[in-house]
Amino acid sequence: MDQHDPRGLILDAAEELFYGQGIQAVGMDAVRAASGLTMRRLYQQFPSKDDLVEAYLRRRDGRWRADLAAYVAGAATPPRDQLLAVFDWLGRWFAEPGFRGCAFVNSFGELGAVSPGVAATARQHKEEFNAYLACLAEAAGAPPATAAQLALLAEGAMTTAAVHGDPSAAADAKAAARVLLDAALPART
């Protein structure tokens, strides 16, 4: 990160604090202190906490989806195997220190009822993830409903891993995805 990029410094601080402690538990003063900037500079970049939260989520979405797509593209070549690689990537993510579940589900749970911007950003993230799975499923020759079913497996694994602190939820979801794909796809020869 460029030490002279105040927006990036603020977003880095906000991401660590919001994801680690929860959005409502973190005040703007804590973000200011963690970023090393003045409160004036913080509010020049983000006029309100809502603006900061939405920017944090949009940036996290871009990073999350790009990391997932790069991993899947590099991990497997047949489309069926790419669908299964999604769950391998989830397992790696779940095992990271400080994993607290899906930032979008967490933020929606905290603010979705009172912040239309947070609700819309969380919804868009989930729609983009589902669209990504739909592209992979289509490339594999799976029926369209397969992507929605795989998304439910992935979302359940995210929640289970967060609640139980056990990354093995990804492997369990991958095993279920394998059964689903075996039933949905023509037999491989």
> pLDDT, tens digit, for every residue of 108-134?
999 999 999 999 999 999 999 999 999
What pLDDT was estimated at residue 188?
57
pLDDT of residue 76: 72
Q: Which domains does the chain carry?
A: 1-47 (1.10.10.60), 55-184 (1.10.357.10)
For residue 79, pLDDT over 80 is answered with yes
Q: Which one has a higher pLDDT value, 76 or 112?
A: 112
Is residue 172 packed enough to be buried (19+ CB in 10 Å), middle (13-18) or exposed (0-12)? middle
74-83: average pLDDT: 89
Mean pLDDT of 67-85: 93
Give percent of the chain with pLDDT exceeding 90.
Answer: 92
Mention every residue, 6+ apart, whose C-beta is less than 8 A from residue 94.
157, 158, 161, 166, 167, 169, 170
Which pTM does this prediction carry? Answer: 0.92
- Would you say residue 2 has pLDDT above 70? no
* Angstrom distance (rounded) from CA 153 to CA 83: 12
Query: Mean pLDDT across the stretch 160-182?
Result: 97
Portion of the chain with pLDDT greater than 70, in percent: 97
Model confidence at 175, pLDDT cuts 50, 70, 90, reads very high
Strand residue runs (E) in 25-174: none
Distance CA 53, CA 67 (A): 21
The predicted pLDDT at position 18 comes to 98
Average pLDDT over residues 99-106: 97
What integer pLDDT is reported at residue 189 of this predicted model?
A: 40
The tokens for 175 are: 């095993």
- pLDDT range class, residue 102, cuts 50, 70, 90: very high
Residue with tokens 């990391």: 67
Instruction: Output the average pLDDT for the chain.
Output: 95
Amino acid 75: pLDDT = 86
Q: Is the dihedral of CA 92, 94, 95, 96 positive or negative?
A: positive
